[in-house]
Chains A and B, each alone.
Chain A
């Protein structure tokens, strides 16, 4: 069988598992029950395994890491969200939180598999500018950071739901615990966001002779970084807790999404140039 077909099958199965995992998390959130929670985690792991297989086949087919087009980055972004959530789930003991985080992965996966035109899915050869070990380092660390920030955003939503009360609020952990979970997620992602920006600057210097060019993508990555820097200082030094922190976690992730998708629109509209492919 054609390798491209096998890749597609893995990616579609991963997508299906992701939907089922999301539904299982939702049922677990509303009805409780340990078995449903375990099923949700199991389906997420299944989805992650299939996605990893699909991406690996794609990498073998292309001869380089699948990190160079919007389509490929969307897929590794999904990978990051699911993987970081599974990691966080082990740390914070709040499995039902997946009901708020996996939908973000479903949305990004839908964007990649359904909304992007088929031409965007074609394997592209590596352009001269991207032929560097820094590509894996720079993009790889951004995946970890974005995955953790997605979790923080989902948990921020959990906080707001809990605060409003309503039928599912009693099933959620205390406001204090949720606040703590948001912080954990941001703390996991922040060093890697910093690393992404630093390696980007060093790579730029080594490839083009300048660290920073105020390319809109660079600027928005910096804005994202500043939002989380603000989060950390408000929480750790000023002792802020609660709703403003939840809102900042949500804003931070909106900035991530804008850096990832909104900029393409901005670049087109304002005719400013960007070196970044995605």
Chain B
């Protein structure tokens, strides 16, 4: 395909190795075992992992359970598994693997979807796993019966004449063949946006007593807490927490806003989440903890999630099926069929379809 690969056998071998489905299978198993191990050990919260002081304190806390092994287990990355190489390496390889597989398949899928072959070799009609042959009284009658049957079953037809034979190709859900490509593309974009683009953003915790003003981001805007209100159900359980805020641009007061759990406030690309609260010295005065997040990856994440789900639905709920027919001048009809996913389903439909054509003859 590309010249650098033919000129360098080493690169070509690497490309081949990284794009093997067998590698993908190995990586799935590696990732799921690592993840399972990760749920057997307590995992360091992210803010602890980056702060050496907090980290030592955290390790001291769990020393009671793991004793002298604590340091060793920490060194092996078992308390930090999802940020360790044990997990990051197979995950990165999987992204590369998915990308190469997608590129390798792109061309053949593209051809099937946009330049489908109407005419296939006689061998396919004679040896294909699904095939049938019929004889009509006249060629036109045969072709008509085939076309009517296929159209009734929502197939789309294209025809081509070669010598004295007429070839018909029928497809259902041909576009769905793009599903697998779209799913993999979505997955790659999703991981890139969630891990990489998100890293380009930032997050910080902001603690506010009522009336207190704090800077958000490096001088993006300022926010003042006007207090927290709690709504309770008749039974006493909390129903809703509302933090009232006032936003400032420099010294200029902009507007008041409310932040609820599940309803962050987004302003100038920064979202403010209500994280927690603590009752202050006087009743009704609360220390509110907000989480300020700037996530440039949100739109890419949503779009790639959408791609991924759409691709899967196309692949599994609208499977592509193709049927080829060759009609000769003598009125003979040869049929064969093919699908990538639901072979048994197609085989059942193919049988029914041949019966229907017979009835029309």
Contact = CB atoms under 8 A, between A and B. Distances in A.
B189 interface: no
Nearest to B231: A128
A199 to B, nearest CB: 8
B248 interface: no
Contact of A205 (B233, B295, B317): B295
Interface residues of A, number: 51
Interface in A128-166: 128-129, 131-132, 134
Given A220-B39, A238-B21, A272-B43, A180 B316 contact: no
B239 A128 contact: yes
Contact of A219 (B35, B298, B341): B35
Contacts of A208: 273, 275, 291
5 contacts: A127-B238, A131-B239, A131-B240, A191-B316, A266-B40
Contacts of A222: 32, 35
Interface string A118-130: 0000001111110
Contacts of B77: none
A226 B32 contact: yes
A216 interface: yes
A223 B240 contact: no
- Chain A CB within 10 Å — which of B38, B264, B316 has the most? B316
Contact of B194 (A190, A195, A212): A212
A202 B301 contact: yes
Contact of A226 (B35, B308, B313): B35
Nearest to A133: B262
A230 B25 contact: yes
Contacts of B298: 205
Given A229-B28, A270-B42, 19 more contacts: A128-B238, A187-B316, A191-B313, A201-B305, A205-B298, A207-B262, A207-B273, A208-B275, A209-B275, A219-B38, A220-B36, A220-B39, A226-B31, A226-B35, A230-B28, A230-B32, A236-B340, A237-B21, A270-B40
Given A209-B273, A233-B28, A125 B233 contact: yes
Contacts of B262: 128-129, 131-132, 134, 206-207
Interface in A164-214: 176-177, 180, 184, 187-188, 190-191, 194-195, 198-199, 201-202, 205-212, 214
B260 A211 contact: no
A191 B312 contact: yes
A219 B28 CA distance: 14
A233 B316 contact: no
A225 B342 CA distance: 21
A274 B309 CA distance: 26
B271 A209 contact: yes
A194 B312 contact: yes
B341 A211 contact: no
A187 B340 CA distance: 13
Interface in B271-308: 271, 273, 275, 291, 293, 295, 298, 301-302, 305, 308
Interface string B234-261: 0101111100000000000000000011
Interface residues on B, range: 35 or more
B188 interface: no
Contacts of B342: 184, 187
- Chain B CB within 10 Å — which of A129, A187, A238, A271 has the most? A187
Contacts of B190: 198
B224 to A, nearest CB: 20
B305 A131 contact: no
A238 B35 contact: no
B203 interface: yes
Contacts of A128: 238-241, 260-262
Contact of A211 (B31, B194, B261, B264): B194
B24 to A, nearest CB: 6
Contacts of A194: 308-309, 312
Contact of B291 (A176, A209, A212): A209
A227 interface: yes
Given A190-B316, A191-B317, A226-B28, A207 B35 contact: no
Contacts of B241: 128
The 8 A-B residue pairs with the shortest CB-CB distance in the complex, in nearest-first order = A191-B312, A226-B32, A180-B344, A209-B293, A198-B305, A125-B233, A128-B261, A187-B316
Given A191-B313, A209-B291, A219-B39, A233 B21 contact: yes
B273 A233 contact: no
B29 interface: yes
B82 interface: yes
A234 interface: yes
Contacts of A190: 312, 316
A217 to B, nearest CB: 9
Contacts of B194: 201, 211-212
Contact of B341 (A229, A230, A236): A236
B261 A177 contact: no
B28 A266 contact: no
Nearest to A176: B344
A226 to B, nearest CB: 4
Interface in B35-63: 35-36, 38-43
Contacts of A177: 344
B341 A187 contact: yes
A51 to B, nearest CB: 26
A272 to B, nearest CB: 5
A131 to B, nearest CB: 6
B168 to A, nearest CB: 28
- Chain A CB within 10 Å — which of B260, B262, B308 has the most? B262
Contacts of A180: 343-344
